[in-house]
Structure 1
Amino acid sequence: MSTLTPETLLLECDESSGYPNSSLPVLIYRKVLDTASPDERADAFERLFQQHGWPPAWRYHLYDFDHFHSTAHEALGIFRGRARARLGGPDGREVMLNPGDVLVLPAGVGHASLEADDDFCMVGAYPPGQDPEIERGDPQALDAAQARVAKVAIPETCPVGGPLEPLWPGN
């Protein structure tokens, strides 16, 4: 696989809805895997993530409610179907997700499915030692969530390959 350059999306803290988001950008890799069947693509995402130090944890859809993880970064490999997703919480930005795409979400970034094909499915992965808690925005708990996000270690490698430092600098 050649070196891929991701789209980046920086999402600021949404104090009014309690979504910490991140000073690190969301990484959106398009067509990481382009030719396989859905089952082959799911297997390939699991091998790819594992190879780069992000053990795969599940195959599932994207929840239809805004949520975030303050205790883990997350990689999502779309292997079947399409979805219109929102990143950043209730007032966030919409993105289209297609088979073969990968999202790398920094800890704290809100995400939700707004509309999806019935068969939409992803592989989810996390860096070793990072366990995601499903959290919803709460303005009164924002300071505590931001403190948890700040403690989440940045892995050395990106789940699709290469170092994360150039993409997530300064941490």
Structure 2
Amino acid sequence: MSFAVTQPEQYFITKSTPYVPNSPLPVLVYRSALPLHLDPTSTCTTFEPKNWIKGGVFKHYSADHFHSVTHECYAVFRGHSRLLLGRGPLDSEDRDGLFVDMEVGDAIVLPAGVAHCSIESSDDYEYVGLYPKGSPRWDNNFCKAGEEETRTKEANARAVPIPDSDPIFGIGGPLVEIWTKAIHDR
């Protein structure tokens, strides 16, 4: 089965808040990157040979959170959602946040430390959450800890290694090059 793949969109959310570490690594969004007629099994078949492993199948998740021990990929196989990135529930509403619309066939890679949640979704919205092979099980940090704990989680997130494989393109894909450049440019 053939499908069109484009280079990922890049969104930098580098500025930390008192409750959210965010990351020097850009969020990557791959549009229409997955084959048609998706379900959890076919979605995993696309990613797992590229060393991104299924963590679960999820629906609308409105709780602002970030992971400090692993990067995460959402692969949308049903419906659509608007995500809010980079801001937690205790951050002021005028604080910068990024809204990203996700549809069937899209994938987003969230660097460790970047806050994310669904703010509105279709009733049928579902995605597979995938993690680099060998990563520890994800932790959920709900963007409500004090500044000292957030700085500790920030140090943890910055120490998460860059995966050796892009979730869409595999070895030699753009994620590794883009993220390596971001680390060297900071």
**TM-score, reference length from structure 1:** 0.90
> Residue 165 of structure 1: CA displacement?
2.4
Instruction: Tell me the residue number matched to 1:19.
Output: 20
Instruction: Tell me the residue number matched to 1:49.
Output: 47
Instruction: Tell me the residue number matched to 1:114.
Output: 119
Instruction: Tell me the residue number matched to 2:7.
Output: 5
Match of 1:123, SS?
strand
Match of 2:29, SS?
strand
> Residue 34 of structure 1: CA displacement?
5.0
Q: Specify which of 136, 140, 150 is matched with residue 134 of structure 1.
A: 140
Instruction: Tell me the residue number matched to 2:180.
Output: 169
| Bigger Cα displacement from structure 2, 64-73 vs 132-141 | 132-141
Partners in 2 of 1:158 and 1:82 — Cα distance?
23
Q: Specify which of 102, 125, 134 is matched with residue 130 of structure 2.
A: 125
Aligned letter for 1:14? S
Unmatched segments (≥5 aa) in structure 2: 89-94
Deviations 1:131-162 (A, max 9, x none): 21000222331210111012211111111114
Partners in 1 of 2:72 and 2:164 — Cα distance?
14
RMSD of aligned Cα (Å): 1.7
Partners in 2 of 1:154 and 1:45 — Cα distance?
22
Partners in 1 of 2:162 and 2:36 — Cα distance?
31
> Residue 109 of structure 1: CA displacement?
0.7
**Aligned residue pair count:** 167
Aligned letter for 2:178? L
| Bigger Cα displacement from structure 2, 155-164 vs 19-28 | 155-164
- Runs (4+) off by over 6 Å: none
> Residue 3 of structure 1: CA displacement?
5.2
Preserved contact between residue 67 and residue 89 of structure 1 (Cα < 8 Å)? no
- Quote the sequence identity (%): 34
Preserved contact between residue 85 and residue 111 of structure 1 (Cα < 8 Å)? yes
Aligned letter for 2:152? A
Partners in 1 of 2:142 and 2:35 — Cα distance?
33
Instruction: Tell me the residue number matched to 1:70.
Output: 68
